[in-house]
Amino acid sequence: MTASVISAGFHTTVQDCGRAGLRKFGVTPGGALDSVSLRLANLLVGNPECVAGLEITSGRVRLKVEVDRLVAWAGGEFEMRIGDEPIPILHCARVSAGAVIEISPKHGGRVWLAISGGIDVPEILGSRATDLRAHFGGWEGRALRDGDALPLGAESELCRRFRAAIPIGVSDWSAPRFVPRRRFLRVIRGKNWDDDIGAKLLAQKFRVAMNSDRMGLRLEGGEIGSNNPPELVSEAVAPGTIQLPRSGAPVVLLGDCQTIGGYRKIAHVITVDLGYAAQLQPLDEVRFELIELEESRELLRERERDIALFRAGLEARFG
Amino acid sequence: MTIHPLGDTALIIDLADESSDADQLLALSLFAADAIERARLPGVVDVTSAYRSIALFFAPGQVEQNIKEKIRALILPKRARSRGKARRTEIPVCYDNEFALDLARVAGHTSLTGDGIIALHASTEYTVACIGFVPGFPFLAGLPEKLRVPRLESPRTKVPAGSVAIANAQAGIYPFESPGGWNVIGRTPLRLFRVNENPPAFLRPGDRVRFRRITRAQFDAELE
């Protein structure tokens, strides 16, 4: 029971919802940069929402699944085909043994692919996510290469019921889109926010630098200025934290960020917009909009309610 | 003690105003992180400490309304008690030239001889202030004043696994090969990060650490 990687694409990794509770040992939570997309893709094929799937960055990926399975994808502007048949985003599709799945970018970003049964790499420190900086987890602690053969886990009873409900092709059920199509990220004030720096962050348009990766989006093209910042004692940072290094060019931390940092934390991208941050590519433009902490927490509770509602809807139909 | 949001799913508790002494602040942070972790507050999925602050991370959408009061109640009444016994650990280090990539640079900055640097480095007791940068990398507080030298002007893209290094007021150990800008003065044969063990880090925040000088032959014998 494997999925063979015919073309691994530009940067594809095995990810789940990440590792919890290990920050004090320097272990970053990691996992899918847009965990909502992975969770929805998993729910669509009948998996528990946090089993391991693939995170695909740009590039064209082709996989051959050796057994009958269900697949779903979510995230950015991509196209997916099984053989010649196009598979719409946020639907569940049958794939027969030996068929080839192809995923290619239209406007880029990242997508998450779930396969019924999940990708059954060994669980390390409570997760199957790939930790690229420490080289463990996922598939041999690294991004996939052509020729890798990914083991697939056993399908749940729910997966089998889903399959029975798809006589051919694609499901009549789909998931709502959670990633907003906007060109700004909503932020809340950070511990080292001040009105002068904040005004500059909010007034300008930034460009995502080429050396951005799963650790963070490095921004250029705007000037915040460093005004001789005080030396700060290192503190915890988190995905979404916007750090201001001495260069004056802000960095938005993403899922693979360090656990602590010594730069000023001027603001934080709100959790519900991290999925959008994960879609930004080098040379994309981005702006920021300030909202209040309570609003961002309410948006997050709302999102979790929406996901719970979608899960409950599937369970009501197939459970 | 001041409490600040770290995004919408975490809080930073800054203890800087509780003392003017860095050692006391570190001890208080370690104690506070431990107390909060033991309290198993609802919704809390992770707790960390760093020098003079701690951070609490919550499951999405589960930050409690009255969490600040709970945190204050857990930490403030007991803050004078600080911490109990610390674990003591010895780290073997080979300081041979082959491993001590920046010993000459440190000598240049400090006007100490190579042997003087090693003697000072190995005769000091350090405290693990926190673990970060990469998994298992200990930030060690307590580096003697005389050994304080700036980071390299341009960081190395690859620092070998086990490298024992110093920069400014801190000492550290690279658990595996990674980029880095600290002055490397030796290498340990120990593996500081082990993914198949729990906890995965050889050292823990609050541990007391000493370095023990070993020969190249001992290094080869002890290499993990």
Cα A119 from Cα A35, distance rounded (Å): 16
Residues 176-215, chain B: which have Cβ within 8 Å of A? 176, 178, 193, 195-196, 198-201, 204-205
Q: Full-prediction pTM beyond 0.90? A: yes
Cβ contact (<8 Å) for B48 and A236? yes
Instruction: Give the tokens for residue B160.
Output: 């070998």
Q: Among A132, A235, A269, pick the best mutation site for testing chain B contact (most B Cβ within 10 A).
A: A235
Q: How many CB pairs under 8 A join A and B?
A: 144
What percent of chain B stands above pLDDT 90? 82
How far apart are the C-alpha atoms of B67 and B89, rounded to whole Å? 36
How far B53 CA lies from chain A's nearest CA (Å)?
7
- The alpha-carbon gap from A174 to the nearest alpha carbon of chain B, in Å, equals 24
Strands A285-290 and A184-189, how do they pair? parallel
B190 Cα to chain A: minimum distance (Å): 16
Choose among A9, A147, A234, A235: nearest CA to B56: A235
Are the C-beta atoms of B174 and B159 separated by less than 8 Å?
A: yes
Decide if B8 and A235 are in contact by the 8 Å CB cutoff.
no
Which of B8, B53, B136 is opposite residue A296, by nearest beta carbon?
Answer: B8
A61 DSSP β-pair partners: A103
CB neighbour burial string for A35-47, b if at least 16 within 10 angstroms, e if fewer = bbbbbbbbbbbbb
Q: Cβ atoms within 10 A of the Cβ of A106, count?
A: 9
As a whole number of Å, the CA-based R_g of chain A is 20
Q: Hey, what are A258's tokens?
A: 């360090």
d(CA B132, nearest CA chain A) in Å: 4
Contacts of A268 in chain B (CB under 8 A): 5-8
In chain B, what are the domain boundaries? Answer: 2-81, 88-222
CB contact under 8 A, A28 and B10: no
pLDDT at residue A245, rounded to an integer = 87
Quote the pLDDT of residue A230: 67
At position B146, the amino acid (one-letter code) is: K
Q: Residue A241: its chain B contacts at CB < 8 A?
A: 6-7
- pLDDT at A180 (0 to 100): 61
**DSSP H helical ranges for chain A:** 35-45, 157-164, 195-203, 274-277, 293-318
DSSP B178-205: EEE-SEEEEE-SS-SB-TTSSS-BSS-T
pLDDT confidence of residue B224? 83
B134, A20: Cβ pair inside 8 Å? no
> What backbone phi and psi angles, to 5 degrees, belong to B48?
-135, 160
Q: Which residues pair with B90 in a beta bridge?
A: B210
- φ/ψ of B176, rounded to 5, equals -150, 170
Contact A304 B60 (CB under 8 A): yes
Query: How does DSSP assign A228-241, residue by residue?
Result: SPPPPPPEE--TTE
> How far away is chain B from the Cα of A258, in angstroms, using its nearest Cα?
6
pLDDT in tens, B170-185: 999 999 999 999 999 9
Closest C-alpha among A80, A105, A110 to residue A95: A80
- DSSP secondary-structure letter at A154? P
Of the partner residues A259, A296, A300, the one whose CB lies closest to the CB of residue B48: A259
AA identity, residue A56? I
Dihedral Cα A226, A232, A238, A243, nearest 10 deg: 0
Query: How far is the C-alpha of A16 from the C-alpha of A129, rounded, in Å?
Result: 5
B36 has pLDDT over 70: yes
Is A21 near chain B, with CB under 8 Å?
A: yes
The answer to whether A191 and A56 have CB atoms below 8 angstroms apart is no
Among chain A residues, the shortest Cα distance to B48 is held by: A24
Give me the domains of chain A, ranges plus CATH numbers: 2-178 (no CATH), 184-298 (2.40.100.10)
Q: Give the pairing type, strands B2-5 and B178-180.
A: unpaired
Q: Which residues of A touch B196 (CB under 8 A)?
A: 124
**pLDDT on residue B103:** 97
Mean pLDDT of chain B: 93
Residue A208's pLDDT is what?
A: 96
Q: What is the mean pLDDT of residues B152-180?
A: 94
pLDDT of residue A226: 65
> How many Å lie between the alpha carbon of A113 and the closest alpha carbon of chain B?
22
Residue A170 to residue A155: CA distance in whole angstroms = 18
Side-chain half-sphere exposure of A6, counting CA atoms within 13 A: 13
Query: In the numeric block, which tokens belong to residue B62?
Result: 């589960």
Q: Are A23 and B204 in contact (CB < 8 Å)? A: no
Q: Is A98 on the interface with B (CB under 8 A)?
A: no
Cβ B173 vs Cβ B192: under 8 Å: yes
Alpha-carbon distance of A78 to A18, in angstroms, equals: 24
pLDDT at B81 (0 to 100): 60
Contacts of B8 in chain A (CB under 8 A): 188, 268, 270-271, 293, 296-297, 300
Residue B82 confidence (pLDDT) above 60: no
- Residues of A with Cβ-Cβ distance to B12 under 8 angstroms: 191, 235-236
Q: Which long-range contacts (CB under 8 A, 24 or more apart) does A31-34 make?
A: A31/A127, A31/A129, A31/A255, A32/A112, A32/A129, A32/A255, A33/A110, A33/A214, A33/A254, A33/A255, A33/A274, A33/A275, A33/A277, A33/A278, A34/A74, A34/A75, A34/A110, A34/A112, A34/A179, A34/A274, A34/A275, A34/A278, A34/A279
What is the mean pLDDT of the segment spanning B52-81?
84
Instruction: Identify the residue among B2, B3, B6, B8 best suited for mutation to test binding to A, counting A beta carbons within 10 A and taking the highest.
Output: B8
Task: Give the ipTM.
Answer: 0.93
Which residues are registered as beta bridge partners of A149?
A4
Q: Which residue of A has its CA nearest to B133?
A: A258
CATH of domain B2-81: 3.30.1360.40
Residues 272-291 of A with CB under 8 A from B: none
Output the pLDDT for position A177: 81
> Distance, in angstroms, between B133 CA and closest chain A CA?
6
Q: Which residues in chain A show pLDDT less than 50?
A: none
pLDDT digits (tens, 9 = 90+) for B95-115: 999 999 999 999 999 999 999
Fold designation for B88-222: Cyclophilin (2.40.100)
Question: Are the beta carbons of B205 and A24 separated by less than 8 Å?
Answer: yes
From chain B residues 105-164, the ones with a CB under 8 A of any chain A CB are: 130-137, 139
Residue B40: predicted pLDDT: 92
Inter-chain residue contact B7 with A188, CB threshold 8 Å: yes
Q: Which residues are CB-neighbours of A294 under 8 A, at least 6 positions away? A: none
| Closest among B43, B61, B52, B45 to B12, alpha carbons compared | B52
> What is the structure's pLDDT at A319?
80
